Chains A and B, each alone.
Chain A
């Protein structure tokens, strides 16, 4: 096994092009667990990405209203201002990841590259319709997050491609993330949800994690909620919130495994959606 430590994106891409079977190593918080558990053997070449400075930066384009995050940005960096102020749901999702040590190592690009149904950053990327810049020796391309995530640990990336950066809109409106696990921290998601309000377009996005092979967007629930909101006051009826919960549960497609049951996951994700909506808006009908 050889370890390559490129310092530029060009070098990393060239190495990957020459060795499409190489294992990409970012924070290592997924890869090393798989290796330790014997589920994966290191390929003949491991390309470590943590010295690639191009992947380790982010920028805020105020005119475009976007933030572009290098794939090597860690959860710890996402949790702190100014990124946390620009992208509060992503900060909340990052806070739910592992322990401080894991958050110091794990990266947003790695989260997407692994593409676990339980990846905590992914519902946020989906809810915000992230744009993913993918590079290879052939050049670069931009893809919608919805076209990148295909299934359980399956992306649309070609073997010679890697994730360079992820662009997200800076939205006006509340956004947040909630995650159910059977422990109060350091736990894999049993069910999770991101809700993001776009006041400018008077729309709402809801994306679910751990309740399907990959992240699920709840179009019907989103439209129901957006149409139920009085956008001048931010008030929504209690009954409408209840309906949103039902629609979210119906949109989910969970399985039963050793972590939980499909029935509980379907229930929980509906509760999470209702509670996130309650945080986002003023509820009319009962005390919030």
Chain B
């Protein structure tokens, strides 16, 4: 991969703007890093979960007797063994710990067992006899919205409806384009499977849970409620997290593990297999989105009408927030005076859906970017040009009435992407010395399905907007503590490090602010206030802001101490390199010396400014901040077989300030791989409510051979609203890379004389060639 960036020559090693080696990097590469699934305790028991085989059924009877009789089975529990609240959930507590009377999706937990080994636990599950009365599943979200179907849940079949009206929704333009788009269900497919170990307190009046999660304190609150404990009786420690992408926001095995451990007064370990993981966490919402764009003859947007339907599956999870993200991004990163959007999140008997990288913005972007290409074609202008003509600027207003006050370099993102070179190799790459072609460089790859003459190349664009942090009046604050003594800064926070690299930049921030080289990181647990979730591209801004503020507070104490010792006003002091210096005198003391014998300890909560709920017309300043990105995809297509190979992705991303450029590039490459996956291969297939490809043989993820070189330009315009000028960078890469790839496929097919709508992702071979 090529990164184009300004040289950074004047940065002190390990500080902001440098890309130091991540503390967990070597262990992960060498395979010695302990992920949650590696957790073990002497004498621990192994838990397992019995799950529903039906998408919708009444539980007539559960007979546990045969399971209890098995040698080595220590506990068998059901909903009757839940001492506290029977349900949990991030927004609405509508999801049962164990099914009560009815199951609503294939994979819903019904019972759990603990046994002396995993095989015995598995056999105990087989021995549980559940009698079901199978019910007709509700699988069509439109039917759920229409209201004709009996409620499949006491909360009803409509999770949320939200309407947005802005300006004059009846406005029309000279050019009108319309389309209906479909997005399939994507899986987060983190590599580190769900796993936890619970240690009960003596007397079983409390528990310590080590788990891979995205938000320790939210887990703590939900677990404690189900266990009937006060929050502080559930102590949470972050286990090694192997990726998250939203799939660890919801409770999965946390409550089950704690219940078994408390019941037995012994440590219990639970760990999902890949097949169980597909059932055990929420997925990206499948969505159907209708849009009609009105523009003037030059392609300037006049009005956007849209209708969104998200299939939330059986339980609410974060569906209502995903919905709002989607519909409030309906216009994309474009200025438009008028709009009317209707959005629905429906409850069905499909797998529950919730958070996944991009969180509603992904679905919206595939629709509005497909529309922008239609608009470009209708107006006879190039795809990049139509986007430049409409590019949002700072101060422009969303359909919610909210002004975009952040740096909004949409035009720069597009122009900088345009400036990146196109691939210089022809289709199939430069022929080898014997004149033959490297099959791996053609669509079909190792399968050798094509020769260069079978292939056409296309180019496509995608540009997107993403809100950062939580929305709708949610105070997702972060807490951090900084201790400074003898030249060593010790940081404490509950920020879930899920692989994104927060622990690396936390130390960089401390080095920059305090002038120290040595930074210790305390255990990530609930012995400090909440850090909010590692999601919504928010931790660099929020926990970064908290660490920054805690370090600044510690620095004030240091300056006060130095000032007192030397008779200098603290305000004259500053950090230069690793020294405290007097800006109005000659004093220069190394921080190591200046902090010797001191114990400075500062804890700060960082809050972003409050946001508002949306009113019934969808008006309100509901979002916290925004980031933007442009993608250009070059794709080779085999029109006859419908196979594709993405040749190159060029991108310019609005990052504010790259605190760690290598980490930013890592997010860009990884996000693009996930966006590419949604574009051409990643989809959970459910037939009649039953998952058919819950494994990595059939749920295909892009491999090294599917992932093209990425050319990336970082647009560094520090955002004055961000604590360090740095915007979150995690989600944008996966949002508009998807429509860019699909647009490139359409472009290639047009050159082959084929006009394929490709209004659904992932694009399947048959969508191209049949």
Contacts and interface: CB of A to CB of B under 8 A. Distances in A.
B447 A96 contact: yes
A182 B700 contact: yes
A244 B581 CA distance: 84
B449 A179 contact: yes
B681 A182 contact: yes
B435 interface: no
Interface stretch (A30-38, A212-220, A246-254): A30-38
B745 to A, nearest CB: 14
B447 A180 contact: yes
A186 interface: yes
Contacts of B695: 37
Contacts of B642: 264
Nearest to B445: A184
Contacts of B447: 96, 178-181, 184, 187, 189, 192
B448 A184 contact: no
A95 B451 contact: no
B133 interface: no
Interface string B189-205: 00000000000000000
Interface in B671-728: 680-681, 685, 687, 692-693, 695, 697-698, 700, 702-703, 705-706
A178 B766 contact: no
A263 B766 contact: yes
Contact of B770 (A180, A181, A263, A275): A263
Given A271-B641, A272-B449, A184 B698 contact: no
B616 interface: no
A190 B275 CA distance: 22
Nearest to A192: B447
Contacts of A271: 449, 640-641
A193 B211 CA distance: 47
A180 B446 contact: no
Contact of A185 (B446, B449, B764): B446
Contact of B451 (A37, A263, A275): A275
Contacts of A268: 641, 765
Contacts of A184: 440, 443-447, 645, 703, 705-706
Given A36-B273, A258-B692, A180 B448 contact: no
Given A37-B275, A181-B447, A187 B770 contact: no
B731 to A, nearest CB: 24
Interface in B135-189: none
B453 to A, nearest CB: 7
A264 B454 contact: no
A57 B233 CA distance: 63
B464 to A, nearest CB: 25
B703 A186 contact: yes
A258 B449 contact: no
Interface in B426-448: 440, 443-448
Contacts of A179: 446-449
Contacts of B692: 257-258
Nearest to B443: A184
A88 B86 CA distance: 62
A92 interface: yes
B437 to A, nearest CB: 12
A40 interface: no
Nearest to A258: B692
A176 interface: yes
B769 A183 contact: no
Contacts of A257: 692
Nearest to A184: B445
B450 interface: yes
B122 interface: yes
A267 B769 contact: yes
B633 to A, nearest CB: 15
Contact of A267 (B448, B698, B703, B770): B770
Range class of the B interface residue count: 35 or more
Contact of A183 (B440, B681, B766, B770): B681
B765 A185 contact: no
Interface in A28-60: 33, 36-38
B445 A180 contact: no
A268 B764 CA distance: 13
B448 A178 contact: yes
B700 A183 contact: yes
Quick one: which of B447, B698, B770 has the most chain A CB within 10 A?
Answer: B447
B765 A180 contact: yes
Given A95-B446, A183-B702, A184-B446, A260 B451 contact: no
A258 B705 contact: no
B591 interface: no
A258 B764 CA distance: 12
B31 to A, nearest CB: 14
A259 interface: yes
A183 B641 contact: no
A227 interface: no
B570 to A, nearest CB: 60
Nearest to B447: A179
B764 A182 contact: yes
Nearest to A287: B453
A183 B762 CA distance: 12
A176 B448 contact: yes
B643 interface: yes
Nearest to A36: B273
B687 A182 contact: no
Quick one: which of A179, A184, A278, A288 has the most chain B CB within 10 A?
Answer: A184
B730 to A, nearest CB: 25
A182 B702 CA distance: 10
A188 interface: yes
Nearest to B450: A275
Nearest to B697: A188
Interface in A225-273: 257-261, 263-264, 267-268, 271-272
Contact of B765 (A96, A260, A272): A260
A281 interface: no
A285 to B, nearest CB: 15
A180 B644 CA distance: 11
A45 B703 CA distance: 36
A268 B273 CA distance: 34
Contacts of B769: 264, 267
Contacts of B449: 178-180, 271-272, 275
A123 B440 CA distance: 22
Given A36-B273, A263-B770, A268-B765, A185 B640 contact: no
Contacts of B766: 260-261, 263-264
Nearest to A97: B446
Q: 8 closest A-B pairs (Cβ-Cβ)?
A: A184-B445, A258-B692, A179-B447, A264-B766, A185-B446, A185-B705, A258-B685, A184-B705
14 contacts: A38-B275, A95-B446, A179-B446, A180-B641, A180-B643, A182-B681, A182-B765, A184-B705, A185-B446, A258-B698, A260-B765, A260-B766, A271-B641, A275-B451
Interface of A: 33, 36-38, 92, 95-96, 176-190, 192, 257-261, 263-264, 267-268, 271-272, 275, 278-279, 287-288
Given A259-B698, A271-B641, 9 more contacts: A33-B697, A176-B448, A180-B444, A184-B645, A184-B705, A260-B766, A264-B642, A275-B451, A278-B451
